[in-house]
C-alpha cells in the first residue's frame, strides 16, 4: 500500500521463550544490521499473533530511517543503545538516547538513527498481531 513502511528483515529466533539479555541481543542485532544491505535488522521478542502485546528489537545503522507510517495502536519506544530521533506528524521531534523511554504519539511518525542504535518497540492492543 502507498505510504506503508518496509519492515526491517526479521532475524529468526533460535532461543526458547525464556529470558533475553537485552544488551547482548542488541549488540548481536546491530552486528547483523551493519552487514545487511538494508543497514537495519529486527528481532521479535514476544510474538503478537493472538496476544495483546508485541515486542521487537530494531537495529538501525547511523543515518538510516524508518519512513513515516501510521501508528495503529498504543506503542512505546525504549532506546537500548545509541540515539534516535522520533518524528511525529509535524510536531516537535523527540531525541532519545540509550536508557530513554517514550510513548509513540498516535500520529503518523518515523524514526531516524542519529548514530548506530537499537530500540525496543512495544505495541499493545488488538492489532499487535500484525
Residue spans of the domains in the chain: they are 42-129
Instruction: Average the pLDDT over 95-123 and give the result.
Output: 93
Q: Does residue 78 carry a pLDDT above 70?
A: yes
d(Cα 104, Cα 110) in Å, to the nearest integer? 10
What CATH code is assigned to 42-129? Answer: 2.60.120.10
Instruction: Average the pLDDT over 44-65 and give the result.
Output: 87
- Work out the pLDDT band at 17, boundaries 50, 70, 90: low
What pTM was estimated for this model as a whole? 0.79
Higher pLDDT, 74 or 118: 118
Share the mean pLDDT of the chain: 82
- Over the Cα atoms of the chain, what is R_g? 14
d(Cα 53, Cα 70) in Å, to the nearest integer? 18
Amino acid at each position: 500500500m502507498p505510504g506503508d513502511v518496509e519492515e526491517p528483515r526479521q532475524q529468526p529466533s533460535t532461543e526458547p521463550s525464556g529470558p533475553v539479555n537485552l544488551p547482548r541481543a542488541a549488540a548481536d542485532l546491530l552486528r547483523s544490521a551493519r552487514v545487511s544491505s538494508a543497514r537495519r535488522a529486527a528481532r521479535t521478542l514476544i510474538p503478537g499473533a493472538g496476544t495483546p502485546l508485541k515486542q521487537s528489537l530494531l537495529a538501525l545503522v547511523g543515518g538510516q530511517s524508518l519512513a513515516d507510517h501510521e501508528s495503529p495502536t498504543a506503542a512505546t519506544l525504549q532506546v537500548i543503545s545509541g540515539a534516535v530521533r522520533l518524528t511525529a506528524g509535524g510536531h516537535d521531534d523527540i531525541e532519545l538516547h540509550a536508557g530513554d523511554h517514550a510513548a509513540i504519539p498516535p500520529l503518523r511518525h518515523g524514526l531516524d538513527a542519529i548514530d548506530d542504535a537499537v530500540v525496543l518497540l512495544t505495541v499493545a492492543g488488538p492489532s499487535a498481531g500484525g
